[in-house]
Amino acid sequence: MRDIAFGQYYPTGSPIHRLDPRAKLVFSLLYMVFIFFAKSYVAYLAIFTFIVGVTLISKVPFRALLKSVKIILVLLIFTGLLNLFMYRDGNILGEWWIFRITDKGVDFSIKIMLRLSFLIVGTSMLTFTTTPTEMTDGIEWLLNPLKYIKIPVHDIALTMSIALRFIPSLMEETDKIIMAQKARGAAFDTGKLHERAKSLIPILIPLFVSALRRADELADALDARCYNATPHRTKMKKLAFSYRDAIAFLILASLICFIMVDAYYFTQFVPVGHIASGLDYYVFSWISGLIA
């Protein structure tokens, strides 16, 4: 539970932190969409370089990014093994019972694991560099057209922001409850599966009570400050785009163009059935030529 990094905010005052929250939300959406177009290891290397560069500029600890991947490690392993044994195309490397391992299956499993890892790391950077207030303002501005069909945009944005903010708090509360129950002699790591599931009840009940108490206290705090979602609320800090947002857009656009060119241009020249794709074929051919 201590390793949950999603929803945390690292105030370093970097240029990434000073980007407009609306721009960061749009950039994150574009990143999540176009990362699925990456087909070659060269494209994944470009994405990795992009993430490392953003991390260095933002001054967010690399350990925090690794923690964000750690929480989905089981999912990564399960997805990789599932695709490894179920992918049928390609040259057979090994076969046992109904399972078959092929060269294309290995290639596809590695790429799907890289894709999921980069997806989690890239989206975690949004919460690492954006405060809940900025997140609320950005989401509200992006959903602003929905106001014309009577959808409570501000309430939705506030709810999403509060939910993200309370993820680390609830994880910390869960860790405290587990430690308290272990101090009383509870065992969560031994026994059969149904016994372990049953032992979670002393954790879930106090956790729900604590969550409801926190929600009630937050509602009282908002009410005490006369907060209400009126249609024409004013803001102390006005959102404004700057040259930093334009530079960030150009960098992200360059990455997207590289991914799309690699996926749809260089792939046309790769021989049918070749395990390499996109620029991978040319890199492998160049390395093979050097070895020869």
- The predicted-structure confidence for 173-207, as pLDDT tens digits, reads as follows 888 888 887 787 777 666 676 667 777 777 888 88
Task: Report the pLDDT averaged over residues 65-79.
Answer: 80
pLDDT bracket for residue 69 (50, 70, 90)? confident
pLDDT at 257: 93
Which segments within the chain are labelled E, that is strand?
Answer: 92-96, 99-102
Q: What are the tens digits of pLDDT across the range 149-182? A: 878 877 787 787 777 777 777 877 888 888 887 7
What phi and psi, each to the nearest 5 degrees, are found at residue 152? -70, 85
Query: Residue 205 carries which side chain, given as an amino acid letter?
Result: I
Task: Report the pLDDT averaged over residues 115-132.
Answer: 86
Q: Is the pLDDT of residue 41 over 60?
A: yes
pLDDT bracket for residue 230 (50, 70, 90)? low
pLDDT at 273: 66
Q: Is the pLDDT of residue 271 over 60?
A: yes
Q: Is the pLDDT of residue 21 over 80?
A: yes
pLDDT at 248: 92
User: What is the bridge-based pairing of β-strands 92-96 and 99-102?
Assistant: antiparallel
pLDDT at 138: 84
Q: Please name the helix (run of DSSP H) or strand (run of DSSP E) that holds residue 22, with its range, or none.
A: helix 21-34
Q: What are the tens digits of pLDDT across the range 140-156? A: 888 888 878 878 877 78
Q: Which residue in the block uniquely carries the two structure tokens 């409850």?
A: 177
Residue environment code for 159-177, b if the CB has 16+ CB neighbours within 10 A, otherwise e: ebbbebbbebebbebbeeb
Q: Is the pLDDT of residue 36 over 60?
A: yes
> How far is CA 247 from each of CA 30, 126, 143, rounded to the nearest angstrom?
16, 17, 24
pLDDT bracket for residue 254 (50, 70, 90)? very high
Q: Is the pLDDT of residue 2 over 60?
A: no
Q: Please name the helix (run of DSSP H) or strand (run of DSSP E) that holds residue 163, with its range, or none.
A: helix 153-183
**Residue 143 per-residue DSSP state:** T
**Residue 271 per-residue DSSP state:** P
CB neighbours of 184 closer than 8 A, spacing ≥ 6? none
> How far is CA 19 from each of CA 12, 39, 243, 246, rounded to the nearest angstrom?
13, 30, 9, 10
Using CA atoms, how far apart are residues 110 and 39, in angstroms rounded to an integer? 11
Residues in the chain: 292
Q: Is the pLDDT of residue 88 over 60?
A: yes
Q: Long-range contacts of range 240-243, CB-CB < 8 Å, 24 or more positions apart? A: 240/20, 241/20, 241/22, 241/23, 242/18, 242/20
Task: Report the pLDDT averaged over residues 253-273.
Answer: 83
| Angle between helix 73-86 and helix 62-70 axes, rounded to 10 deg | 60
Pair 165, 7: CB distance under 8 Å: yes
Task: Report the pLDDT averaged over residues 260-282.
Answer: 77
Q: What is the mean pLDDT of the chain?
A: 81
pLDDT at 110: 87
* Predicted TM-score (pTM) of this structure: 0.77
Compare 252 and 231 and report the one with higher pLDDT: 252
Domain-wise residue ranges, the chain: 1-131+241-292, 163-228
Using CA atoms, how far apart are residues 15 and 246, in angstroms rounded to an integer? 12
Q: Is 211 exposed, middle or buried (0-12, 13-18, 19+ CB in 10 A)?
A: middle
Using CA atoms, how far apart are residues 129 and 53, in angstroms rounded to an integer? 14
Q: Is the pLDDT of residue 4 over 60?
A: no
Question: Considering the chain, what percentage of its residues have pLDDT values greater than 90?
Answer: 15
What phi and psi, each to the nearest 5 degrees, are found at residue 189? -110, 5
